[in-house]
Structure formats: C-alpha cells, structure tokens
C-alpha cells in the first residue's frame, strides 16, 4: 500500500513525499503503479497531464533511509504485517528523523504500544491505518498507543483532513482496532466455506456482494490484500487476544505455503494477470 499512500499524500495533500523501499525494483514498481493510477485520472478527465506531472514531481523515490526521513515532519510506515520487521524499520527511521517528526504506522492489527516502544519517541508514534486502495478509500483509523500524546493524535487528524479522508479514533490499543476486529472473522469464515466444500469462491463472493451489499466479496478481498498479509493479521489477533474466533483456516495456511497469495503472485482464490 505504500505507493498508494505516497500518491494520495502528493496528489490530494500536496505534500512533498519521499518514497523509500529496500530494493530498486520495488521502488521502480511503486512509481510505475503511481503513474498508472494517475493516468487513469487523466483518462477520466479529472486530472490534466500538467497536474499529473506536478504530482509526480512531488514524489522522490530513494533506497536510503537517512535521505528518506532526515527532513521529514511525518513518517508513514507501510510494510508487511510482521512485528519484528516493523519495529526494526521504525527503530532505524527513528535514529535518522528530526526530533519533532511524528511516526505513523499503517499496521492493521499490530499493537501501537509495542511498535512505539521500539523507538525513542513513543509519544510521537501513532497508528494511521489506511484502507486499500488508499487513493479511493475514504477512511483512516487513528490508533492511540499507551504513550501516544494528544498532540500527535491532532497531527494525524489534521493530515487526514488534508488528504480528504474521514477518520475514526481508536482510543484503546486493542488487536484489530475497529474494522479488522469485525472483518477478519468474516473473511476467515468465507475461507472455511471453501475448505468445507460448501460453495465455490465465485458463489460465496456473489452471495456477499448481492446479499450484504459489500462492494467486493470476501475471497476476492483476500486476494487483493494478499493471503500472506491476511494470515499475518489473523495470527496477530489470535496471539494478542487469545480468542479462537480469529483462527485461520488450514486452507489459508496451505495457500500461503504454496505462494498462492492472490493478485500479487497471479493466483489465489482467483487467477490474476501478473502485474510485474
């Protein structure tokens, strides 16, 4: 989701954005996806080529962490749902960022308190959970950690408004926050239905989109998010809460082991054309 967040910050927010990743191919792919997304706005007539160029000029790709954060006012982390990896990346960012900088994590399930403790500025660490795709989805969950200051929450509220987003504030650092605490059991139940042979994925998704008016079926949503990311989230919820209502299906685990992750690998519950 990092490229989508970078795009909305540069496009809607008008911010100068440095987009950092660990390999050049990831950076290049992110910039390609940003350009493809912007071109769709141009084709729809909601953006001119000149405006597209201005947005692109505000996004500065890099591989260097120091270059990425040394002049930052706000750092938004958007890597995979892996607690040790998130803490390692943000601890590194913390070392290079100016003292006033706020650190936001796009985690959908991991404890903000735990992530904040990996830095020297826990009071300036906050959850800023975007939804996929960030360019279109209107909601941001703002999540307080145990030591997150009121001032930090106000900064994230202000930035969210500038991005044209609605927001909700999660007052207690609870696993899954609001949306995923409700959504994850529903997605998992859809996978159980497939595993039990109750119905085909297409019919399960059709039942939910037409019967509950969801914009996308649960299995297609897992393919968009990535089965591996979804499994990370379910594992975090089970481990943090101890509640078996979040338990993942063995089918989901088998799909991750087989690299059937959805759209990003070309095959999940559905077949997808490769994007890179």
Task: Cite the active site residues.
Answer: 108, 129, 141, 180
Helix runs in 24-111, H state only? 24-44, 49-57, 65-69, 83-96
Are 125 and 153 spatial neighbours (Cβ–Cβ below 8 Å)?
A: no
Separation of alpha carbons 33 and 27, rounded Å: 10
In the sheet that holds 74-77, the strands lie side by side as 74-77, 102-105, 125-130, 139-143, 166-170
Residue 227 buriedness (CB in 10 A; 0-12 / 13-18 / 19+): buried
> Under the phi-then-psi rule, with left for phi > 0, alpha for psi from -120 to 50, and beta for the rest, what region is 259?
left
Separation of alpha carbons 156 and 142, rounded Å: 7
Peptide bond into 153 cis (omega under 30): no
Please give the structure tokens belonging to residue 215.
């914009």
Helix runs in the chain, H state only? 2-11, 24-44, 49-57, 65-69, 83-96, 112-117, 150-162, 179-195, 201-211, 218-225, 227-241, 250-257
**Tokens 């239905």 — which residue?**
193
**Cα angle, residue 275 at apex, residues 269 and 276 outer, rounded to 5°:** 125
């Amino acid at each position: 989701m990092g490229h989508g967040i970078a795009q909305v910050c540069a496009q809607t927010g008008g911010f100068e954005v440095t987009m950092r990743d660990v390999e050049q191919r990831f950076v290049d792919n992110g910039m390609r996806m940003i350009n493809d997304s912007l071109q769709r706005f141009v084709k729809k007539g909601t953006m001119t080529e000149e405006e597209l160029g201005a947005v692109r000029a505000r996004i500065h790709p890099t591989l260097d962490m120091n270059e990425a954060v040394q002049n930052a006012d706000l750092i938004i982390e958007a890597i995979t749902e892996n607690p040790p990896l998130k803490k390692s990346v943000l601890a590194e960012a913390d070392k290079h960022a100016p003292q006033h900088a706020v650190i936001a994590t796009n985690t959908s399930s991991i404890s903000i308190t735990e992530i904040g403790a990996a830095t020297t500025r826990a009071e300036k660490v906050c959850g800023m959970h975007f939804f996929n795709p960030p360019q279109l989805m209107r909601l941001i969950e703002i999540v307080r950690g145990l030591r997150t200051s009121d001032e930090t929450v106000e900064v994230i509220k202000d930035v969210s408004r500038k991005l044209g987003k609605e927001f909700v504030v999660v007052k207690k650092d609870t696993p899954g926050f609001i949306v995923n605490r409700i959504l994850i059991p529903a997605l998992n139940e859809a996978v159980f239905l497939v595993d039990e042979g109750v119905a085909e994925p297409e019919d399960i998704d059709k039942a939910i989109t037409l019967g509950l008016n969801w914009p996308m079926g649960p299995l297609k949503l897992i393919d968009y998010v990535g089965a591996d990311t979804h499994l990370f989230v379910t594992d975090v919820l089970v481990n943090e809460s101890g509640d078996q209502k979040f338990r993942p299906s063995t089918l989901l685990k088998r799909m991750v082991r087989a690299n059937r992750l959805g759209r990003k690998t070309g095959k999940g519950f559905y077949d997808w054309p490769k994007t890179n």
